[in-house]
Amino acid sequence: MALQQSLSMVLARPHPAGYPFIGAGAVASFLGLLLTGWIFWPAFLFTLFALYFFRDPDRVPPLRADLVLAPADGHVVSVGQFPPPAELAMGDAPVWRVAIFLSVIDVHVNRSPVAGRVARVVYHHGKFLSANLDKASDENERNALAIALPDGRMVACVQIAGLVARRILCDAAAGDELQAGQRFGIIRFGSRTDIYLPPGVQPQVLVGQTMIGGETILADLAVESAMPPVRVTA
């Protein structure tokens, strides 16, 4: 079963954002095979990398509706209380934030952490610092989504570019209805995704923990906590 799951992950269909890279690599490989041998192997290896990087495996979200799910694969690099991005107009009171770093070997498809309506989407131009740095949340180029829950509470999901990642793609727009675990975008070649929880909702993950986008539970919206501010960074 474990081998089958591993193969299904590696052989998953690619995200459409990867088609230009995969196609270019395949054409270069074909031409290299016909015209000159030395081009073939680099082009072929690039094609394999593009197929692997842009893989988009299916995920099975938990059935409970009051959970916050991981928006991306990767590992947790920071858990603490911070104000949401100013551009989302969600106030400046600190809330719990979970930061997930995506390396080049992780699946880079982003998924909605909750079921709700997209209240706003704001793109912010910025730097391209290493995405595992804490200041990347404030200084790097990013795309922020505010998602309104049915009860009126808000969850923010922020796609953050990194040192290598220079292209953020987001298919969600204000007014869209998203399901928990639904695909809404992708970040190319190493990045980070931050989640800002509603006031009083505490994360249930630890720094260093591995995340599976659309499946790993980050928090329980039905459980609120009045714990004092805590900041933990890898």
Q: Which residues are catalytic?
A: 191
Distance between CA atoms of 233 and 81, rounded to whole angstroms? 11
Round to whole Å and give the CA distance between 124 and 160.
10
Contacts 24+ apart (CB under 8 A), 148-152: 148/116, 148/117, 148/118, 148/119, 149/114, 149/115, 149/116, 149/198, 149/221, 150/115, 150/116
The structure tokens listed for 150 are 């049915």
Helix (H) or strand (E) holding 169: strand 168-170
Size of the chain, expressed as the number of residues it contains:
234
Q: Estimate the crossing angle of helix 19-35 against helix 37-53, to 10 degrees.
A: 160
Backbone angles phi, psi at 20, to 5 degrees: -60, -40
* Alpha-carbon 206 to chain mean position: 17
Closest CA to 170 of 212, 123, 209: 123
